[in-house]
Chains A and B, each alone.
Chain A
Amino acid sequence: MPDQPAQPETMFSRRTLIRLGAGSVLVAATPLPVFATPDDVKAAQQELFGSRMIREGRVTLKLPAIAENGYSVPLSVEVDSPMTADDHVRQIAIFSPRNPIANVARFQLGPRAGRAAVATRIRLGGTQAVQAVAEMNDGSLWSGSAQTVVTLAACVVL
Chain B
Amino acid sequence: MEASLNTQKTTEVYKKQSQFKEIVRRFSKSKSAVIGLILFGIVAVVLLLADVIVPYAEATTVHPELKNLVPNKDHIFGCDSYGRDIFARILHGGKTSLGIALLGTLCSCVVGCLLGAVAGYYGGKVDTVIMRGLDIFMSVPDLLFTMAVVYALGANFINLLIALTLAFFTNYVRLVRSQVLNLAEKDYVEAARAGGAGGLRIIFTHIIPNAMGVIIVNTTLNVAKIIIYESTLSFLGLGMPPPAPEWGQMLSEAREYMRSAPHLLAFPALSIVITACAINLMGDGLRDALDPHLKS
* B and A form one assembly: no
